[in-house]
Amino acid sequence: MSSSAPWLVQAEEQSYVGYAYDEPGSLPGTLRIKADAAPPTIVLIDYNEAEAIRVTLETPEECADYLDTESVSWIDLQGFGSEDVLQRLGQVFQLHPVVLEDVVNVPQRPKTENYEDQLLIVLHMAVALPDQSRYVREQVSLVLGPNYLLTVQEEPDYDPFEPIRDRIRYKKGTIRQRGADYLAYALIDAVVDGLFPVLELFGERIEFLEDEVIRQPNAQTLAKIHQIKRELLALRRSIWPQRDAIAALLRDDCPLIRPEVRVYLKDCYDHTVQILDMVETYRELASSLMDVYLSSASNKMNEVMKTLTVISTIFIPLTFIAGIYGMNFNPDASPFNMPELNWYWGYPLAWGLMIAIALGLIYFFKRRGWFEDFSTVANKP
């Protein structure tokens, strides 16, 4: 697991990072490169209906040979480890310094911006790892041109786009018959659909927490509920503006996206709305778990107090009797000074009286049904 992934979120431990901001007074286009950032890798996929090639480019300048062709060129940059490579890549694609800043200085708020003959799309993706116990959040940026698509990813290890590459390689569907805008749609669709497995992880965790809250809540349970609420809040903060970004692609009249592709983008928008509804539902469930936890803790405290009250109630008359017989009396001075102290069966009679009172109270409490809750609590795992 790479230590440079800033948004690594495990099922039991979350690290949330807010949106990026520059230092006051910094120049526009200033790039913030982390010391442990992954080295950049440039992978080119150039395809048309007849053929498709995939090569790893050594320098950013090699991308210029594929920008003016009639085929579709997909340039995928993975890793931010070299500012020089990033600046040179920006020069090749003639990226505005603000665009390069938004792409590199992660995380940015999901958005779309139109720059004459280029369209910038910033998305947040969440990818469930193969072990299905955790997921990662990462930013991916798309720069759409007339016949090319530049994608910039923070980490090379977490990539949901391999099925898209297979569709291009093996000519599945109609992707090789369409333009760069359809490729951009396919990648957006992969980012959106990748959120469904992540939400399944949340569903399983909430279901597990429900059982734990009902059976035997503890301090760790409260910490887990707070953590999952924070993770859902972070996910909502990513998906909400992402929904608006996809809606902007449908609403704005951008010449780089053809009308037939907008129909597919509507499906992405519907999926995003569905995901946002699921996140809101899980947030409500997490909030209800907090209420159930507080109710369970209160009920548990009530049961403990009831148990102590019953025990105290049983022993109060016994203590009263023992206190009376523990007093100093002189039967010779008066016949009313505890005459039973001189009885032959006085001691067994006192014990019998106390046992009878205790058994009578126990029978009375049992008839009232007070002991049923105690047995239920005692049998909990």
- Which pLDDT band, with edges at 50, 70 and 90, does 211 fall under? confident
d(CA 316, CA 39): 77
Contact 42, 63 (CB under 8 A): yes
Strands 72-78 and 41-47, sheet pairing: antiparallel
Task: Assess if residue 2 is contained within a domain.
Answer: no
Does position 61 have pLDDT exceeding 60, yes or no? yes
Question: 30 by DSSP, 3-state: which?
Answer: coil
Q: What is the pLDDT of residue 186?
A: 95
Q: What is the pLDDT of residue 324?
A: 73
* Average pLDDT score over residue span 198-214: 88
Does position 20 have pLDDT exceeding 70, yes or no? no
Instruction: Look at the block and give the residue holding tokens 């690290």.
Output: 15
- Which pLDDT band, with edges at 50, 70 and 90, does 160 fall under? confident
Task: Assess if residue 3 is contained within a domain.
Answer: no
Same structural domain for residues 322 and 260?
Answer: no
Instruction: Look at the block and give the residue holding tokens 């409260």.
Output: 222
d(CA 317, CA 311): 11
Same structural domain for residues 239 and 362?
Answer: no
Same structural domain for residues 329 and 246?
Answer: no
pLDDT in tens, 215-252: 877 878 888 888 899 999 989 998 999 999 999 998 88
* Average pLDDT score over residue span 23-36: 68
Domain total in the chain: 2
* Greater pLDDT, 179 or 128: 179
The DSSP letter of residue 27 is P
Domain boundary (294, 310, 337) is at: 294
* Greater pLDDT, 356 or 26: 356
φ, ψ at 363 (rounded to 5°): -65, -40
Same structural domain for residues 142 and 288?
Answer: yes
φ, ψ at 68 (rounded to 5°): -105, 15
Same structural domain for residues 152 and 239?
Answer: yes
Domain boundary (242, 271, 294) is at: 294
Q: What is the pLDDT of residue 43?
A: 93
Does position 11 have pLDDT exceeding 50, yes or no? no
Q: What angle do CA 202, 127, 261 make, to 5 degrees?
A: 110
- Which pLDDT band, with edges at 50, 70 and 90, does 141 fall under? very high
Does position 1 have pLDDT exceeding 70, yes or no? no
Interacting residues of 349 by C-beta distance below 8 A, sequence separation 6+ = 340, 343
Same structural domain for residues 271 and 243?
Answer: yes
d(CA 166, CA 82): 29
- Which pLDDT band, with edges at 50, 70 and 90, does 148 fall under? very high
> Any idea what the CATH number is for the domain that residue 348 is in?
1.20.58.340
Q: What is the pLDDT of residue 123?
A: 92
Interacting residues of 130 by C-beta distance below 8 A, sequence separation 6+ = none
Interacting residues of 104 by C-beta distance below 8 A, sequence separation 6+ = 31, 32, 33, 80, 86, 152
Does position 124 have pLDDT exceeding 50, yes or no? yes
Instruction: Look at the block and give the residue holding tokens 């690594």.
Output: 8
d(CA 361, CA 359): 5
Does position 380 have pLDDT exceeding 70, yes or no? no
Interacting residues of 50 by C-beta distance below 8 A, sequence separation 6+ = none
For 98-134, give one letter per residue: b (16+ CB within 10 A) or e: ebbbbbbbbbbbbebebeeebbbbbbbbbbbbeeeeb
- Structural domain range at position 165: 8-294
Does position 8 have pLDDT exceeding 70, yes or no? no
Model pTM score: 0.75
Question: 57 by DSSP, 3-state: which?
Answer: strand
* Greater pLDDT, 183 or 314: 183
Would you give the distance in Å from CA 148 to the centre of its chain? 34
Strands 148-153 and 72-78, sheet pairing: parallel
Q: What angle do CA 53, 54, 57 make, to 5 degrees?
A: 125
Domain boundary (273, 294, 315) is at: 294
Mean confidence (pLDDT) of the chain: 82
> Any idea what the CATH number is for the domain that residue 51 is in?
3.30.460.20
Q: What is the pLDDT of residue 26?
A: 61
